[in-house]
Structure 1
Amino acid sequence: MTRLNKFISHHSTYSRREADRAIQEGYVRINGEVVTNPATQVDEKNDEVYISGKKVSTVEKMTVIVYNKPRGELVTKKDPQGRRTIYDTLEKPYKHFIPVGRLDFATEGLLLLTDSPRVASVLMHSALERVYKVKIKGPVTEAMEEAMREGMHLEDASAGGHGKSDIEAMTFAPFYAFQVQKNRHDYSILKIAIGEGKNREIRRFFAHFGAEVADLKRLSYGGIELNNLPTGKTRFLSRSEYASLRDFIKEEEKKQ
């Protein structure tokens, strides 16, 4: 069950405020009956909702794009300090798109954006595999590998975090997979796959072992690959990527 105003804003071009107004002014019917309370519960599978005689369809038209974010851009609409954001680079048709999670200022690579708040929410809160290429200062140790395999909990996970972050404790789930591609005394390179997207999670993980992350690049998200997309450029999902994404979203919503 979903609140009527939320149902309308998710499945139409109406904002939540516009949905409230339409409901309160008597333009909305559920199964033929006028409803004026925005908090009325809607059964998305069985109820039929109409606004001014037009049915609100739950078959959502969504657009998802892949953006190859460069280092030095913030994933935010506007920065009080005047630093560059992704919306300074994105083309005009995508200025209103919602980022699926965030990549920090110094991280580059694949960022998904969508015009659907529902899709963004489902993906952000999923355990879909995120694959990264990581360069750290120093060697990969046995303790690091054990933590990648087994996971770990830190009461103090401030190292590697943003200076203004108020996060203290953090639990790191076992990595889905990892591959040490280069292991040297001065620097090492790994390819890792994780299923979470916590605040500066990878930087905090390696900082616990005294290893600073020198470079971090996301290569894929939920099977959607960056491939050879140039830095600062976008692409649409392929037909097969869209099909897989829709199937995943349907399955996730069944669990709710």
Structure 2
Amino acid sequence: MRLNQFISHHSKYSRREADRLIEEGRVNIEKNKADFNTVLEVGQRVFIDGKYLKAQNQDLYTVIVYHKPKGEIVSKKDDRDRRIVYDTLGAKYAHFISVGRLDFASEGLLLLTDSKNVARQLMQSDLEREYILKIKGSVTKEMIEAMEKGLSLQNATLGAHHKSKIKAMDFAPFLKYEVTKEGTNFSRLKVSITEGKNRELRRFFAYFKREVVDLRRVRYGWIELNALPVGKIRFLNKTEYKLLHQFLSKNDKNFYVSKKYI
């Protein structure tokens, strides 16, 4: 395994940050200096700033549910000095990885984990994501048809972040949708999709000239937000961990199902 990969797997640092540590001479291997071409041998010990970097047990992991409020960025840092989710979560969870994102103006269920493998498999899955939306205006027949049949746009910039480089976007048919309240000024919907791409729902409804004024994710697969207060966290319960183990073992034949939570 390459050195930067080992560091990113077993520490809070990303692979790019690991490269910077190596470049700055802060990484040693058994008292020897390391470089970008270093490939670790089995049993070699790695030190960062003189501290031993212990390999994590990949079979054990923690997943938390965070009720993200509006006005927080799902990122490790923000160049505009806006509040990030880790400001609320604190140093204890600074090494946790978010499973996907919710944009600055959205709230609801955000999963975070200390396992990159778990985060990767959940993000790349087609698990159902359920949202409650409030949009300006009524729900049209064209919107319902697109929710049922899907939509392909070469220009999906409406509703997107101004810095987004994603222009075209394909919207798969919604798994489910329900119009819970319809009015001339505002309408409410509950929708379920499988991807949650970059501002997917905001782009979708913007195409029909409908602004999403409230967006809250309430479920990710079998994990529900329920009555968790805004800005609070909870750990997965025993049943949720068991279902997660089953999901991981099914999707990764090399994944060893730990008995810690069973």
Q: Shorter-chain TM-score: what band?
A: 0.7 to 0.9
Alignment identity in percent? 50
SS of aligned partner of 2:250? helix
Corresponding residue of 1:143? 142
Structure 2 residue identity aligned to 1:194: I
SS of aligned partner of 1:67? strand
**1:98-177 map, 5 Å:** 98-177=97-176
**C-alpha contact (below 8 Å) 1:11/1:58 kept by paired residues:** no
Structure 1 residue identity aligned to 2:131: Y
Unaligned runs of 5+ in 1: 26-35, 41-48
**1:1-256 map, 5 Å:** 3=1, 38=39, 50=43, 60-254=59-253
**C-alpha contact (below 8 Å) 1:8/1:14 kept by paired residues:** no
TM-score (norm 2): 0.79
Distance in 2 separating the partners of 1:71 and 1:176: 26
Aligned length: 234
**C-alpha contact (below 8 Å) 1:99/1:112 kept by paired residues:** yes
Q: CA deviation at 1:206?
A: 0.3
Distance in 2 separating the partners of 1:70 and 1:103: 10
**C-alpha contact (below 8 Å) 2:11/2:95 kept by paired residues:** no
Unaligned runs of 5+ in 2: 22-26, 46-54, 256-262
Distance in 2 separating the partners of 1:12 and 1:135: 41
SS of aligned partner of 2:180? strand
1:159-207 superposed Cα distances (whole Å, 9 cap, x missing partner): 0001121211100011111111011111100000000021000000000
Structure 2 residue identity aligned to 1:245: L
Q: Call closer, same or farther: CA 1:162–1:12 in 2, change over 3 Å.
A: closer
Corresponding residue of 1:32? none
Corresponding residue of 1:33? none
Distance in 2 separating the partners of 1:57 and 1:111: 24
Distance in 1 separating the partners of 2:12 and 2:6: 7
TM-score (norm 1): 0.81
What RMSD, in angstroms, separates the aligned Cα atoms of the two structures? Answer: 2.9
**C-alpha contact (below 8 Å) 1:135/1:190 kept by paired residues:** yes
Corresponding residue of 2:49? none
Q: Call closer, same or farther: CA 1:11–1:207 in 2, change over 3 Å.
A: closer
1:98-117 superposed Cα distances (whole Å, 9 cap, x missing partner): 11111000000000001111
Q: Call closer, same or farther: CA 1:37–1:165 in 2, change over 3 Å.
A: closer
